[in-house]
């Protein structure tokens, strides 16, 4: 048996060892050692339910969607739009038309930059972000700076990697067109107080975009309760396929935005004299979509909901706390990012060893972690490092994985 109630232990705690059985890629050896996968913040592994859903579309139901009248096209359309409804329910959006499928969180941010901010901004107008951003929430605004003279305002963090919330009111001005922040830092694991940020911005009449790429797999999301104006996330980080993501936007905002790209399926009619665009959400979905990936994302959400995201989050929090205590005892190892509120990420450095060397040596023991700047170079600079090794926890990780990581790191310490 897989999923849902089957994954409860005797005291109703989440049973990660049983959940792990649902993930075929985890059942292999690397360099003769059992794989310990601690890189889910980069891309999570896929459960069999997702693999079967994608394969099912490709084997039995694949055709282009929306405009076909034959049976396969109608089935594929129903599956694709059914996945959109699953996303709507998962984030509690008010309407299905508020869910736009994108190639990932990055495209969602770029869409908001070009379709929402650009038409409304004038030279000298501002977008407020934070020091802990992924490059995907920096570069699109810098491109707007080159295109229209938009200015980037950056909220500071402290040495623990926590946002200085008290600084935000002084950084929001009459020229602020958007506040765009991560719910969870990909490089540090810091959980930001997004409810407070939304309230602060809305009190000044400024809309808010939430980058939830590192949040939706760990934290229950309710966009209506949060009252954010936009929210983005990526499928591949929430146990779904790559090449698929979601932009949520309030319907009234999306209605007023021009299309981000032009092409097929985002139109109602086209002549050489002009084009009439399609209704929401299709006017933002030009071209043939990632049909099987959308269905796979829907299956991933079904899987996570079936497990119980609260139970998964409690399991991950317990593992993170244990891993933090364990790694702090290793001589010469320093954790980077020690915020009081964290989720599933441990970034660290070691004396005399470059993070890339740490990652290579861990791999020889079958332990997979991420190394580098994690597409977050400004926060590395702020905290005085060029790179870190990053272990990140998913629902399938166990206490044994943490012990394997610590054992390998102790061996590395002894070697040097």
**Mind listing the pLDDT tens digit for each residue in 377-398?**
999 999 999 999 999 999 999 9
Point out the domain boundary residue: 246, 272, 305: 305
Range of the domain at 195: 51-305
Average pLDDT value for residue range 120-136: 97
> Domain check: are 323 and 349 in the same one?
yes
Query: How much of the chain exceeds pLDDT 70, in percent?
Result: 97
The per-residue pLDDT for 352 is: 87
Question: Residue 43: is it exposed, middle or buried by C-beta count within 10 angstroms (0-12/13-18/19+)?
Answer: middle
> Domain check: are 393 and 404 in the same one?
yes
Catalytic residue at 25?
no
The per-residue pLDDT for 269 is: 84
- Least confident span in 36-40, 63-67, 177-181, 300-304: 63-67
Point out the domain boundary residue: 273, 305, 337: 305
> Domain check: are 82 and 172 in the same one?
yes
Residue 407 has pLDDT above 60, yes or no: yes
Average pLDDT value for residue range 123-134: 97
Sign of CA pseudo-dihedral 172, 192, 308, 3 = positive
Point out the domain boundary residue: 305, 338, 368: 305
> Domain check: are 320 and 234 in the same one?
no
Structure tokens, 298 = 């829907």
- Residue 363's contacts (CB-CB under 8 Å, 6 or more residues apart) are 30, 31
The per-residue pLDDT for 6 is: 44
The per-residue pLDDT for 150 is: 97
CATH assignment of the domain containing 153: 3.40.640.10
DSSP per-residue letters across 225-274: HHT-SEEEEEGGGTTS-SS-EEEEE-HHHHHHSPPSS-STTSEEEEETTE
Residue 122 has pLDDT above 80, yes or no: yes
The per-residue pLDDT for 63 is: 94
> Domain check: are 313 and 287 in the same one?
no
- Domains in the chain: how many in total? 2
Average pLDDT value for residue range 53-82: 94
CATH assignment of the domain containing 384: 3.90.1150.10
Average pLDDT value for residue range 147-160: 97
Name the helix (H) or strand (E) containing 146.
helix 139-148
> Domain check: are 321 and 287 in the same one?
no
> Domain check: are 97 and 244 in the same one?
yes
Average pLDDT value for residue range 164-169: 97
The per-residue pLDDT for 318 is: 97
The per-residue pLDDT for 11 is: 57
Average pLDDT value for residue range 66-78: 92
Q: How many CA atoms lie within 13 A of 263 on its CB side?
A: 8
Residue carrying structure tokens 């409690």? 314
> Domain check: are 107 and 243 in the same one?
yes
- CA 15 → CA 37, 262, 267, 313, 404, distances in Å? 17, 47, 48, 12, 19
The per-residue pLDDT for 270 is: 82
Kindly report, residue by residue over 306-350, the tens digit of the pLDDT: 999 999 999 999 999 999 999 999 999 999 999 999 999 999 999
- CA 52 → CA 1, 24, 48, distances in Å? 16, 12, 6
Kindly report, residue by residue over 1-54, the tens digit of the pLDDT: 344 444 544 457 899 999 999 999 999 999 999 999 999 999 999 999 999 999
Catalytic-labelled residue, pool 25, 213, 228, 375: 375
Mean pLDDT estimate for the chain? 95
Residue 236 has pLDDT above 90, yes or no: yes
> Domain check: are 26 and 105 in the same one?
no
> Domain check: are 30 and 135 in the same one?
no
> Domain check: are 16 and 92 in the same one?
no
- Least confident span in 58-67, 117-126, 218-227: 58-67
The per-residue pLDDT for 303 is: 98
> Domain check: are 207 and 339 in the same one?
no
Preceding amide of 281 cis, omega within 30: yes
């Amino acid at each position: 048996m897989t999923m849902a109630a089957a994954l409860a232990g005797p005291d109703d705690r989440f049973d990660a060892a049983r959940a792990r059985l649902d993930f075929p890629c985890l059942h292999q050896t690397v360099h003769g050692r059992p794989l310990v996968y601690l890189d889910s913040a980069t891309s999570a592994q896929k459960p069999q339910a997702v693999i079967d859903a994608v394969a099912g579309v490709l084997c039995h139901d694949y055709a282009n969607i929306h405009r076909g009248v034959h049976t396969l096209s109608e089935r594929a359309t129903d599956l694709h739009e059914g996945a959109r409804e699953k996303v709507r329910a998962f984030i509690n959006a008010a309407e299905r038309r508020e869910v736009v499928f994108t190639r990932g969180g990055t495209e969602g941010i770029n869409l908001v930059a070009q379709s929402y901010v650009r038409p409304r901004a004038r030279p000298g107008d501002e977008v407020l972000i934070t020091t802990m951003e992924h490059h995907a929430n920096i570069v699109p605004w810098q491109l707007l700076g080159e295109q229209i003279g938009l200015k980037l305002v950056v909220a500071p963090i402290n040495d623990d990697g926590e946002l200085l919330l008290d600084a935000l009111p002084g950084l929001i001005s009459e020229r602020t067109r958007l506040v765009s922040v991560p719910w969870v830092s990909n490089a540090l694991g810091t959980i930001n107080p997004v409810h407070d940020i939304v309230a602060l911005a809305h009190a000044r009449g400024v809309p808010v975009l939430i980058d939830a790429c590192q949040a939706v797999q760990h934290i229950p999301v309710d966009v209506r309760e949060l009252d954010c104006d936009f929210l983005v996330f990526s499928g591949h980080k929430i146990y779904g396929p790559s090449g698929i993501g979601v932009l949520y936007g309030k319907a009234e905002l999306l209605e007023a935005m021009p299309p981000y790209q032009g092409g097929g399926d985002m139109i109602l009619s086209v002549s050489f004299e002009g084009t009439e665009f399609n209704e929401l959400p299709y006017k933002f979905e030009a071209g043939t979509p990632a049909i099987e990936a959308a269905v796979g994302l829907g299956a991933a959400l079904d899987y996570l909901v079936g497990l119980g995201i609260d139970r998964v989050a409690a399991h991950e929090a317990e593992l993170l706390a244990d891993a933090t205590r364990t790694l702090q005892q290793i001589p010469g190892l320093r954790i980077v990012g020690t915020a009081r509120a964290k989720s599933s990420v441990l970034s660290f450095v070691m004396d005399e060893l470059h993070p890339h060397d740490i990652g290579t040596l861990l791999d020889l023991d079958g332990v997979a972690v991420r190394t580098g700047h994690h597409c977050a170079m400004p926060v590395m600079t702020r905290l005085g490092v060029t790179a870190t090794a990053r272990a990140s926890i998913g629902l399938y990780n166990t206490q044994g994985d943490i012990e394997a990581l610590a054992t390998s790191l102790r061996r590395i310490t002894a070697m040097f």
